[in-house]
Every structure is written in structure tokens, then in C-alpha cells.
């Protein structure tokens, strides 16, 4: 009996020791995070300036509110923030890559773009990693820290910080085609009966994700069929306008386009659905430029942009989704539809295997395949 009591006492003492050690470790981590966050705030205040890309769809009003809330959150009243709202994400990243290769000082302190663009900048040494980002994120944006592996996903961890997502939907004009008449899969879109009914965008970022599900050769044949069937090449915004005018029956684009159009005109003839075989989501992240003139302000804004506070402003002004955070009404509505229809959403960062497929495009073979996809989309060959 005495021996048993001794064992119990020892067990309790060990448990208390580990609880105390864990608590002390958490306190130390919290203290470190607070200091690191304060260092960024103090550094940003001394820099006095931030040159940052903000999505063009936010507009000047949205950008002003975003900046005002950010400055108030960290007590940076004297910080001057110059937002670039001109869009042209791909062109800006191409220029940033050229700057990095040539040793030219960066145009922006902070850039936003899809994961592939962020990776291209990392590959030429044009991006700067935010050291100790997890500790600072835990202190500054606890709701994002809870899902830190998704906010700053594998291969981009500490380099890119997610502030929105782009989920591919099938948008259609119900006056021209019913949901029942729409293709249910990417392969069905290649049926000759849909020839001239839809457009394709001038980029291939969504199409490259076809290899997440399909064999590379099979997917290339599917894209060729799409290339033959398409009516014209339009950006998503242009395609939406042409569809509303009745020139197109449907097109694939970002799911939040539906909410954008309906908020502008509740009676607009636009609805959306999702393809059953492959619905994809692309991450959009902020990345700090290597050699930025104002790195502290850039890092602080990049981390804060992952917050529910920032997401609310983005959704209200730019109608942009964030299915990773899923806090805003647009994101929640899209997530509910996907859940109700039992549609799986695929991303490059779902597993080590999907990450490897993403990285494959940096190889010679991968680049050749991407060129083949671009050609297939353009001319169906």
C-alpha cells in the first residue's frame, strides 16, 4: 500500500512538473512574441513609409479603410502607406524577378500574388523570409496562428502569408443555359456541343492544377479539347461582362465573381455551380521583397493581412473569399455550398505529394509541360 502511494505521489509530481514546464515555456514564448511584435512596430514607425500592392478590386475606398484599420491596430498614425491598386499581378512579379536578377532596388516593399508567383520570386532571391513569424503571428493574429500551416503553407512557410483564396467555379447565364445542361466535368466541357459557348482566360494557373487529379497526358488532351471549344480568350472580368450581355453561356472563373456581380445588380443573370471532378483553390499571399526599403512595415502588414479584421474589409469592398480563414459572409456561403454538394476542393498544399507536383513545374520537364498546356489552351493543339 505504501509503495502504491509513493508511486502515485511520484506520478503527480511528474505531472505537475510537466504542467509547470509547459506553462513556463508558453509564457516565455508569449513574452518573446510580444517583444518581436513590438520590435516590428517600432521599426515600422522609424521607417515611416510602406509601398504595398493592394488588390485593385478593393478600390480607393477599400484601400483607405484597410490602411486606416491597420495603422490604428498597431498605433502607427504617422506611417505613410502608398497603395498600388493598378492590378497586373503577373506583370509586376515578372518585373520583380527581373529586378532581383539585376540587383535593382525593389519597386515595392510588399507584393501580393498567387503561390506560383511568390515561388518564382523566392527562386531568384527576390523574397525575404519573416524570421520567427510563428511567434509574432501568435501574438498579433491568434485566429490565423491556429491555422498557421494553411496561412503560411509548406515550401512557403515564413515567406508567403495568405490573405485570400481563389476557388474555381462555373459561372453561367441562366437565361441561356440551365444548370442541368451545363457540363459536370472538365472532360465534358470538351464535348463539341459546347463549342463557342464559353471563353478561356489568358493565363493557365488554374489549368495547371489538373494534374492534381488526372494523368498528365490525359489532362493535356482535355485542355486541347477546351482550346478547340472555346469561343474567345477573355479575362474573368471581361468574360463576366460578355456573359451578362448574352455573348457567352458560361465560363470558369473565381467563385467570388458571382457575389461581386450580384452585389452590383441583384437581378443580374448570373449563377454559379462547381465541376464535380475537379474544383481547385489557389492561395493568394503577401511576400516581402528582399532589399525592401521598409521591411518592418512590410512584415507587419503581411502578417496582419491574414487576420479576420483584414478579411472583413477585403470581403466588403473587394468581394474576395478566404476559404482558409472562412470568417466572412462570402467565404462562408461558398464553403457551405461546397459542403452541401460534397465537393472536394483541391489545392497545391494539401499534402507532400501535391506540393511535389507544384514544385515539379520548376523542372525542365515541368516547364515544357506548362508550355504545352498554354499552347493547348490557345489553339487546341
- 179 within domain boundaries: yes
Q: What is the pLDDT of residue 326?
A: 87
229 and 120 fall within a common domain: no
Write the pLDDT tens digit of every residue in 118-170: 999 999 999 999 999 999 999 999 999 999 999 999 889 999 999 999 999 99
Q: How far apart are CA 359 and CA 119, in angstroms?
A: 9
Residue 312: domain span = 30-164+284-318
142 and 240 fall within a common domain: no
- 22 within domain boundaries: no
Phi-psi domain of 326 (left: phi exceeds 0; alpha: psi -120 through 50; beta: other): left
190 and 298 fall within a common domain: no
356 and 374 fall within a common domain: yes
Q: How far apart are CA 52 and CA 80, in angstroms?
A: 11
182 and 214 fall within a common domain: yes
Q: What is the pLDDT of residue 16?
A: 42
51 and 123 fall within a common domain: yes
- 325 within domain boundaries: no
Considering 292, 318, 344, which residue would you say is the last residue of a domain?
318
276 and 339 fall within a common domain: yes
pLDDT above 70 covers what percent of the chain? 92
- 10 within domain boundaries: no
52 and 137 fall within a common domain: yes
- 207 within domain boundaries: yes
116 and 233 fall within a common domain: no
- 326 within domain boundaries: no
Write the pLDDT tens digit of every residue in 250-265: 999 999 999 989 988 9
Q: How far apart are CA 243 and CA 158, in angstroms?
A: 40
122 and 189 fall within a common domain: no
**21: pLDDT strictly greater than 50:** no
**172: pLDDT strictly greater than 60:** yes
**14: pLDDT strictly greater than 70:** no
**Going by C-beta distance under 8 Å and a sequence separation of 6 or more, which residues neighbour residue 86?**
56
**Going by C-beta distance under 8 Å and a sequence separation of 6 or more, which residues neighbour residue 162?**
150, 151, 152, 153, 283, 284, 285, 306, 322, 324
Domain with 249 in it: what CATH number? 3.40.190.10
- 83 within domain boundaries: yes
205 and 294 fall within a common domain: no
Q: What is the pLDDT of residue 20?
A: 47
310 and 252 fall within a common domain: no
How sure is the predictor about 27, in pLDDT bands with cuts at 50, 70 and 90? very low
- 11 within domain boundaries: no
Q: What is the pLDDT of residue 30?
A: 63
Say what the pTM is. Answer: 0.86
**Number of domains comprising the chain:** 2
Amino acid at each position: 500500500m505504501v509503495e502504491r502511494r509513493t508511486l502515485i505521489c511520484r506520478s503527480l509530481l511528474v505531472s505537475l512538473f510537466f504542467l509547470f514546464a509547459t506553462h513556463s515555456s508558453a509564457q516565455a514564448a508569449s513574452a518573446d512574441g510580444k517583444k518581436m511584435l513590438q520590435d516590428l512596430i517600432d521599426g515600422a514607425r522609424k521607417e515611416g513609409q510602406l509601398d504595398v500592392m493592394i488588390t485593385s478590386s478593393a478600390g480607393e475606398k477599400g484601400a483607405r479603410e484597410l490602411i486606416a484599420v491597420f495603422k490604428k491596430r498597431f498605433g502607427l498614425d504617422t506611417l505613410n502607406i502608398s497603395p498600388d491598386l493598378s492590378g497586373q499581378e503577373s506583370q509586376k512579379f515578372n518585373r520583380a524577378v527581373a529586378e532581383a536578377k539585376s540587383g535593382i532596388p525593389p519597386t515595392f516593399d510588399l507584393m501580393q500574388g498567387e503561390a506560383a508567383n511568390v515561388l518564382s520570386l523566392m527562386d531568384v532571391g527576390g523574397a525575404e523570409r519573416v524570421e520567427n513569424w510563428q511567434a509574432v503571428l501568435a501574438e498579433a493574429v491568434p485566429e490565423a496562428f491556429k491555422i498557421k500551416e494553411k496561412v503560411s503553407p509548406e515550401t512557403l512557410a515564413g515567406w508567403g502569408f495568405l490573405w485570400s483564396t481563389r476557388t474555381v467555379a462555373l459561372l453561367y447565364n441562366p437565361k441561356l443555359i440551365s444548370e442541368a445542361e451545363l457540363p459536370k466535368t472538365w472532360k465534358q466541357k470538351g464535348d463539341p456541343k459546347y463549342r463557342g459557348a464559353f471563353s478561356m482566360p489568358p493565363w493557365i494557373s488554374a489549368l495547371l492544377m489538373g494534374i492534381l487529379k488526372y494523368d498528365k497526358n490525359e489532362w493535356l488532351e482535355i485542355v486541347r479539347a477546351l482550346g478547340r471549344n472555346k469561343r474567345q480568350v477573355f479575362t474573368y472580368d471581361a468574360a463576366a461582362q460578355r456573359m451578362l450581355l448574352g455573348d457567352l453561356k458560361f465560363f470558369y472563373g473565381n467563385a467570388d465573381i458571382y457575389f461581386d456581380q450580384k452585389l452590383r445588380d441583384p437581378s443580374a443573370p448570373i449563377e454559379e455551380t462547381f465541376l464535380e471532378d475537379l474544383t481547385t483553390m489557389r492561395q493568394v499571399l503577401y511576400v516581402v521583397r528582399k532589399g525592401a526599403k521598409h521591411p518592418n512595415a512590410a512584415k507587419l502588414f503581411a502578417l496582419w493581412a491574414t487576420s479576420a479584421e483584414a478579411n472583413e474589409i477585403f470581403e466588403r469592398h473587394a468581394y474576395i473569399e478566404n476559404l482558409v480563414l472562412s470568417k466572412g459572409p462570402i467565404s462562408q456561403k461558398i464553403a457551405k455550398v461546397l459542403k452541401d454538394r460534397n465537393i472536394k476542393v483541391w489545392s497545391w498544399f494539401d499534402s507532400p505529394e501535391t506540393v511535389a507536383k507544384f514544385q515539379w513545374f520548376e523542372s525542365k520537364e515541368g516547364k515544357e509541360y506548362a508550355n504545352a498546356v498554354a499552347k493547348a489552351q490557345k489553339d487546341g493543339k
